[in-house]
Amino acid sequence: MKFGLFGINMGPCATAEVAARVARAAEAEGFDSVWTGEHVVLPDPQVAPSPAPPETPLLDPAVALAYVAAHTKTLRLGTGIIILPQRNPLVLAKELASVDVVSGGRLIFGLGVGYLKAEFDALGIPFEHKGERAMEYLAAMLALWTEDRPSFRGRFVSFGGIQALPRPLQKPHPPIVVGGASPPAFRRAMRHGNGWYGFALDLDATAACLDGLRKAEERYGRGAELGELEISVTPRGRLDAEAVKRFADLGVHRLIPYRPTTREEDVLAVVRDVGKLIAGH
């Protein structure tokens, strides 16, 4: 089992010095990764299904991870997740390639399609066809990252006769992790992802999602070049040694705990508690 930490760009970690201290502590305790969340804007006032009060600070994922990269040596740097259909894929490809380069090849690109219509409306992005848009954007980004002469022709984005350097250090590209707990998300993970990320799941919900992933693989297949699908979960509820074992028995490869808080000391307490689990694992 590997362990990550969610929220390195939000709440108390939206203060750069706090993020650096938390990341260094996580690295010292044996965490393998830290992960950002993303909402470009939040509804004000908060209404369901918005996950956080509008006063919640969230640094841009690429900015936060580049800063954390300068203060760590081994931590993988995960976007958990970037809402891909809200982004310009060429600009995002440049930003994330830059993070991979300045970090020495430590980026994990986690993506999702989003679910807050108010956020899409504020950004002027159609809420319809967001899954199709996201997968086309991903294909365009991979073209930029992997092709000697990048070109792409699609419904939502087209380009040719360009270059975008530097490319990511990781070859052929940084790992792609697809988030979401719906049948379309399972399909996208199986067809396009090196990993899958489930957020705020208990054991039963995790088991149900893994069953959904298996069914997606049976129905849609999976390319051999993608390798084994790495399963990451932010667990809901208390995380102790028994819970870690039960998640591992289900087939989870990485746990990414998160405790919503406004205090640095609470985040560091999570790091210490999980560090004890890592030491005893």
**Domains, the chain:** 2-280 (3.20.20.30)
pLDDT at 281 over 80: no
Average pLDDT, the chain: 97
Q: Is the pLDDT of residue 104 over 90?
A: yes
- The string of pLDDT tens digits covering residues 34-93 is 999 999 999 999 999 999 999 999 999 999 999 999 999 999 999 999 999 999 999 999
Please give the structure tokens belonging to residue 68. 């954390």
Task: Label residue 238 by pLDDT band (50, 70, 90).
Answer: confident
DSSP annotation of 167: P
Residues 156-211: pLDDT tens digits?
999 999 999 999 999 999 999 999 999 999 999 999 999 999 999 999 999 999 99
Q: Which of 11, 27, 132 is nearest to 64 (CA)?
A: 11
Tell whether the torsion through CA atoms of 242, 233, 203 and 201 is positive or negative: positive
Reported pTM: 0.97
Whether 279 contacts 3, CB under 8 Å: no
Average pLDDT over every residue of 242-248? 98
Point out which residues pair with 108 in neighbouring strands: 78
Question: Which amino acid belongs to residue 108?
Answer: I
Residue 253: pLDDT band by 50, 70, 90 thresholds? very high
Residue 246: is its pLDDT beyond 80?
A: yes
CA distances from 102 to 33, 34, 119, 168 (A): 16, 16, 30, 10
